[in-house]
Structures are given as structure tokens and as C-alpha cells.
């Protein structure tokens, strides 16, 4: 398989800072533009999430990953394409080997409603894990800058919030 083969599914793996695997799912590479990878995935089963509620089977997830940025963005849509929400993760920049995209989730998130109102989530988790796992000053600084950049993108209706 070539490095960016859109015909075969890829695996997305998320890890905690200590290296423990957190989640894993299958997606398809929709496109690559520079450092941006856009993936498509669909939820096969119902997921109950304490921050965003229930994600129904069939929910479509369009996922935006930049290989050089400290965040990613998920656009959740109903099967008919209607926007349900965006979910933004602060993370260490992902690595993609052509078959697996993996990243370390830093437990700091933003939930964005269809009207583009937003709420920062999990600040306490971020601070707790920063102490627990010993996040470096560089990781803390990059996470803070990524949070600021995401808020600017949301408020200015920048990509992908403009789609």
C-alpha cells in the first residue's frame, strides 16, 4: 500500500501520555493536503460520552489531523449529513505511517455546538494528568497555545468551522 492509499482503511490509535492505549477505531483517508489528513469514519455502535452525550450508531465523523499541530478536530454529523457538533482534542502531533495514525491525547478538549458556541472541557483532567505524568514545560506551553489557536479558529469561523 502506498503511504496515502485512500482505498484501504487505516487505524486510528490514541494513547495517554504514559503510553497506555486509550481508544482505537477504523477510518478511511479522504484526502491529504500538506500536513493535513482528513479521515472519514462512522460509529458502528452507540457510544455514551460523559461530555457530549450519546453518539448514535451511524453518526459520521469527519476527522481533521495536522501532522504538525497540537490539536485535531472531529466533525460529528447525522447520517443525512446534518452537523451535530465538533469535538476538538489537544494532543501531541500525530504520527502516520500509511496504515496507522496515532497520537497522545492530553485530555484537554473543546466541544463546539452547531451554532459555533463552544465550551472548554477537561481542564481539571489536563492539570491532574500534567502532574501525574510529569508533562514538560514544552508540552504544557504547546497545549496552551493549541487551545488558544483552536478558540481563534472557532471564533473567526476558520477552517474547518467554515464548512
The CATH number of the domain covering residues in 9-156: 2.40.380.10
* pLDDT of 160: 96
Q: Residue 20 and residue 116: Cα distance in Å, rounded?
A: 33
Nearest one of 138, 155, 126, 160 to 37, comparing CA atoms: 160
Q: Which is it for the CA torsion 64, 51, 49, 76, positive or negative? A: negative
Asked if pLDDT for residue 84 goes beyond 50, the answer is yes
133-154 pLDDT, tens digit each:
999 999 999 999 999 999 999 9
37-60 pLDDT, tens digit each:
999 998 877 777 777 777 888 899
Predicted model pTM: 0.91
Q: Residue 135 and residue 43: Cα distance in Å, rounded?
A: 32
Give domain limits for the chain: 9-156
8-42 pLDDT, tens digit each:
799 999 999 999 999 899 999 999 999 999 999 98
* pLDDT of 5: 56
Amino acid at each position: 500500500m502506498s503511504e496515502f492509499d485512500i482505498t484501504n482503511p487505516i487505524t486510528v490509535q490514541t494513547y495517554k501520555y504514559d503510553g497506555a492505549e486509550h481508544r482505537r477505531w477504523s477510518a478511511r483517508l479522504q484526502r491529504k493536503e500538506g500536513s493535513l489528513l482528513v479521515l472519514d469514519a462512522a460509529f458502528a455502535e452507540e457510544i455514551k460520552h460523559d461530555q457530549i452525550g450519546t453518539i448514535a450508531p451511524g453518526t459520521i465523523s469527519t476527522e481533521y489531523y495536522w501532522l504538525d499541530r497540537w490539536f485535531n478536530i472531529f466533525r460529528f454529523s447525522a447520517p443525512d449529513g446534518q452537523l451535530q457538533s465538533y469535538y476538538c482534542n489537544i494532543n501531541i502531533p500525530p504520527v502516520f505511517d500509511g496504515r496507522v495514525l496515532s497520537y497522545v491525547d492530553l485530555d484537554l478538549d473543546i466541544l463546539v455546538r452547531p451554532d459555533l458556541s463552544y465550551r472548554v472541557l477537561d481542564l481539571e483532567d489536563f492539570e491532574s494528568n500534567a502532574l501525574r505524568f510529569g508533562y514538560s514545560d514544552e508540552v504544557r506551553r504547546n497545549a496552551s497555545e493549541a487551545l488558544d489557536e483552536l478558540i481563534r479558529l472557532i471564533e473567526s469561523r476558520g477552517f474547518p468551522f467554515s464548512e
